Amino acid sequence: MPNVTITVPEELKAQMDKFSEVSWSEICRNAISQYISQRENPTPKIELDIRSTRLYVYTVETGYPTLTIDVRIQNRMSSEIIIDRILATVWSRAQDNQSFGFGQATDLHRRMVGSSSVGLATIRLAFTREMLRQLKDVFKSTFHCYVDFTVFVDCFKDAYRQEVDFQIPIDTWNDVVTNALGTNQATQ
């Protein structure tokens, strides 16, 4: 194996010397390998799937009726990644094939996901009462929702994009709409 020499400041070398058990050659090899991989592949190799969804009449986090989506993030790379932020656009189609945008939400919590490992994120999309009024009679049966995810990962030029779908049972939807609109009609 060829040798490569690197130069580090005195302060960094002093800190490195405190960890005599660490193979600094291995750390450098991994860092160089990760850098080359990221330069050759400008989009991170990750995969998303929805672990669960919940529709609430009210949440403390948003103060509104809220769709909560728990997302599993699978890192398919041999190095750890840092998720900077996740953007989600949620929409659906009615039975007449007309599209309805539910809105956008973000998860701005930075998180590290280890190599070939899994991380979790939660997206909370608040529904205004006006939006619920507009959509209350649109859906007649259990319906599909679609989430267009955009995931920004540190050190990668391009964001990762993926569409994931899930279903909202019509009984759950009707209960949330009825309770959210019914309990606040006097104040609207």
Q: How many CB atoms lie under 10 A from the CB of residue 53?
A: 17
CB-count exposure of residue 18 (10 Å: 0-12, 13-18, 19+): exposed
Kindly report, residue by residue over 77-123, the tens digit of the pLDDT: 888 899 999 999 999 988 788 899 999 999 999 999 998 999 999 99
Q: Chunk the chain into consecutive blocks of 10 residues (it has 188) and report each block's average pLDDT, rounded to whole numbers.
A: 91 93 90 78 90 91 91 91 96 87 95 94 93 89 95 92 96 92 53
Q: How many CB atoms lie under 10 A from the CB of residue 153?
A: 23
Residue pointed to by tokens 């309770």: 179
- Per-domain boundaries in the chain: 10-39, 44-187
Superfamily for the 44-187 domain: Immunoglobulins (2.60.40.10)
> What pTM was computed for the model?
0.77
